[in-house]
Amino acid sequence: MASKFVASLGCFICNESWGPTSPRPHYPSMPKYPKGQSPGDEGAEAKALFSVSGLTCSACAGSVEKAVKRLPGIREAAVDVLNNKALVHYYSNFVTEERIREAIEDVGFEATTIKQDDNIANDISQSTLWGSIAQVALATEEAEVYYDPNFLSYNQLLQTIEDTGFEAILLSLGEDISKIDIQIDGFKTDHSLKIIAKSLQSIDGVQEIETYPELKKISISYKSQLTGPRTFIEVIESSGSGHFKAMIYPEDQGDRDSHRQHEIKQYYKWFLWSLVFTIPVFLTSMVFMYVPVIMKVLDIKIVNMLTIGELLRWELATPVQFIIGWRFYVGSYKALRHGSPNMDVLIALGTNAAYFYSVYIVLRAANSKDFKGTDFFETSSMLITFILLGKYLEVLAKGKTSEAIAKLMNLAPETATLLTLDGEGNVVNEQEIDSRLVQKNDVIKIIPGAKVASDGLVLWGQSHVNESMITGEARPVSKRKGDAVIGGTLNENGVMHIRATRVGSESALSQIVRLVESAQMAKAPVQKFADRISKYFVPLVITLSFATWLAWFLAGKFHSYPHSWIPSSMDSFELALQFGISVVVIACPCALGLATPTAVMVGTGVGASQGVLIKGGQALESAHKVSCIVFDKTGTLTIGKPVVVNTRILNSMVIREFYELVAATEPRPLVEYAKKMKEDEENIIWPEAENFVSITGQGVKAIVKNKKIIVGNKSLMRENNIEIPVEAQEALEEAEGMAHTGIIVSIDEEVAGIISISDPLKPGARQAISILKAMKIESIMVTGDNWGTAKSIAKEVRIDTVVAEAKPEMKAEKVKELQSSGHIVAMVGDGINDSPALVAADVGMAIGAGTDIAIEAADIVLMKSNLEDVITAIDLSRTTFTRIRLNYIWAMGYNILGIPIAAGVLFPFTGFRLPPWIAGAAMAASSVSVVCCSLLLKNYRRPKKLDELEIGGITIE
């Protein structure tokens, strides 16, 4: 079971050992044999087991699996993210164990060969996940955990997260599990609630039930394809002889938003209280010294050399240090207990050094009649205040990075109009219900201006629906009986009745939200750089801080610099201490940790809003390096819906009778064309086809009206010893020359006619290829269609390199060939036969209207099914990675320049030093600046050249 939690992660730095977020992705197997080799050449099958370090999630597993499967001679590869192992079956004549290891390391993971163990190997091949595995996303402050409910409950997971120092709430219970809270009124005892829970547990599809008597609430986890909330309410209200009343539990806003708002309010409150105490400390130490009257009062001695000002600052700084700053102590303790020092440790060290040194000064002044010293209470209190201000601004900014998901989630309408139909399909009742109560097979009424309540099929009516919020398609789409509609889209004109087909977690909107969330959780390979640095950052900074203090202290003790360098308000020890504290508090690993995930999060969100679904940081990173794109033809460069453009009958048969025989064999475009010849008939009935046989890639055979009908290509005719006359050959050549596909029709073993069908080129295809050339990206077409048609289409779109009559494995081989020549290859396709090539490519792009298998195998899904989004995806990737580079330059440059300045490198030459409180303010600002830099991606606009394209719809008659 998968559960998603939102956690208040604070300054959680990416140096922990993460587990995977999902089971290993199942990519289609790649071809076994290298180009030019054949079965029999492979030699012995071998098996290698590797230990792979750096695996964090399913995206990482997918990277390793794809990298290995691209190699020649790989039979199968399985990656176990839980145990950080990869098992590879390969043919030793084609590839070596060392080459496989290098392929794994090429995608950013360290791999070592481990001793073979068949039991381990079998465990990897047939692994079942138990215990728990997880991934934490810093930018979203979310954790996704896969666990076996037989071993763990999500409440235990929540407790574990809280034990490590972070607050957590449950967001969801998995991709195929929906969860809903229901309020129950009318029960008097807990026993009544248990009876209700028992009744609900008997419903097919209910997974888990939790009761909250004090809140009058019951939480139900269920499978939406089997049951739904309306059923639960009916069962509840029938359980108590009409005494119980049930409704969806009222929520002001989603858990995700409420948690975010709570966190923002919490930081704001802490900052304000800190400010209340810090301002007087700042005034008494930095401002009032220049106001003689007030200064005299503050300098009044209470005990020995202890003054009113020192005592006042101590009293004011203490609540800031130990009450408002208590969270840093808790965070430091838990981080050190788990062996992963984080930002809290640096803050606690810096503020404690300043505070307790100041306490020492105060106590010594109280016990001495001639001691003169300066306290640093303003340093500790101002540090905490500025850090809290920085965290407040950071959570505000990070909240904006997840706006894409929030907007998607808010697309679902609040209410829906439920229709009750009689046996003849007539409406007998209308009822307005909460949209969360819609269940599978419900009939919903959609009026003009209303949002579609769920995914479904149109039963009655016609209209135009604006789907831009889901697909990014700007033009309204015509809908009529039988057409599919998407939940959350806007009905523009006309009333429709739809039957709900997918609700809850099954809906397209939920799946898109899940895909975007998953993409934002997955790390980009470039982030490993920051993770490695973060692992050693805090210990290194502490070492540098101590070294800085020691160097300045020894230099002062042995008079290595002029005494005039020491400010009048302190001695050499205090000067050294301030330099050391400044180094601790200016260093900021958080900026490094946020550089990649925030940019990836905003980039994938922007892509989703434009109909380009990018499956994670790795796809986004690979896309910006693409130098060559391999296009499928049918359904990718072309519409994918062939139409009849010409018919040439070679005997005396009437065209209506000819098409009646052809249509009986059921080739789809021919049937649609034949229907137009019988438009005057209400119920079209075709002759019965007997002994029907379909030959993949060639055509069909059948007996119709006692005539032997064969419809197909040349090879099918040759196999059946049917001679193709010269007239037919000319018709076929003419068709191919016009980029049409010629279909031969044989009746009783004689060629009776040639039907030319054409798959129209997609609008804007030629212009899209031209723009890609301007972007210095080479375009290649690989298709299973014949050479004549392939060359004609390629000429029309101006693609120079063509591979035709290619089987699925040949497409994948072509991708590998291009990769071996140094190209970073993207594959754009839509069919099952494109899946191996989509997997083999560095970036697989699936046309949104394509098959589920192609979409599953791809790294990027183009929802609008047009080629302009290929350009958008690549351009967005380039823009995002430019932003990531800027983030890294800022984060690295900030630390590289800031730490030496804080250590006093400029002080001997310029007299400039960085007081700890200013260093703390700079540290707080660094994370905010990185997040804001990423947020600028929200202003992304696709290339202007695309706006100039006239990509209109195409109508097929």
What does the block give as tokens for 495? Answer: 């009333």
Q: In 169-194, which positions are buried (b, 16+ CB within 10 angstroms) versus exposed (e)?
A: ebbbbbeebbbbbbebeebeeeebbe
> Does residue 529 sit in helix, strand or coil?
helix
CB atoms within 10 A of CB 878: 16
Angle, nearest 10°, between helix axes 589-609 and 868-902?
160
Give how far the C-alpha of residue 673 lies from the chain's centroid of Cα atoms, to the nearest Å: 43
HSE (side-chain half, CA atoms, 13 Å) at 5: 23
How open is the CA angle 152-156-162, to the nearest 5 degrees?
A: 150
Both tokens of 669, joined, read: 């475009």
Contact 103, 67 (CB under 8 A): yes
Q: How far apart are CA 727 and CA 605, in angstroms?
A: 57
**Residue 131 backbone dihedrals phi, psi, to 5 degrees:** 70, -135
Cβ atoms of 831 and 851 within 8 Å: the answer is yes
For residue 893, give the H/E element and its range.
Answer: helix 868-902
Q: Considering only CA atoms, which of 644, 666, 677, 679 is closest in space to residue 753? A: 644
Cβ distance 152 to 17 under 8 Å?
Answer: no
Whether 33 and 42 have beta carbons less than 8 Å apart is answered as: yes
Residue 75: which residues within 8 A CB-CB, separation 6 or more? 29, 32, 45, 89, 90, 91
| Torsion, Cα of 569, 570, 571, 577 (10° steps) | -160
The active-site residue out of 442, 632, 759, 830 is 632
3-class secondary structure, 701: strand
**Residue 489 one-letter amino acid:** T
Mark out the alpha helices in 486-566 (DSSP H runs): 508-521, 527-557
Tokens in use for 293? 């009257």
CA distance 794 to 783: 11
Q: What is the DSSP string of 917-945?
A: HHHHHHHHHHHHHHHHHHHGGGG----HH
CA trace torsion 898, 899, 903, 906 (10° rounding): -40
- The CA distance from 460 to 481, in Å, is 6
Amino acid of residue 9: L
Contact between 578 and 376 under an 8 Å Cβ cutoff? The reply is: yes
The region that residue 732 occupies, defined by phi over 0 for left and psi between -120 and 50 for alpha, beta otherwise, is alpha
Structure tokens at 459: 């039963």
> What is the spatial order of strands in the sheet that 612-614 belongs to?
612-614, 860-862, 843-847, 825-829, 628-631, 778-782, 801-803
Tokens of 136: 């934490």
Q: What is the DSSP letter of 213?
A: G
* Angstrom distance (rounded) from CA 330 to CA 337: 11
> Rg of the chain's alpha carbons, rounded to an integer?
35
Alpha-carbon gap, residue 403 to 393, rounded angstroms: 16
Residue 44: count of CB within 10 angstroms of its CB: 7
Question: Is 632 a residue of the active site?
Answer: yes
Contact call for residues 823 and 797 (beta carbons, < 8 A): no
Three-class secondary structure of residue 346 per DSSP: helix
Q: Which two tokens stand for residue 385?
A: 């205040």
Q: Give the C-alpha separation, 600 to 593, whole Å.
A: 12
Catalytic residues: 632
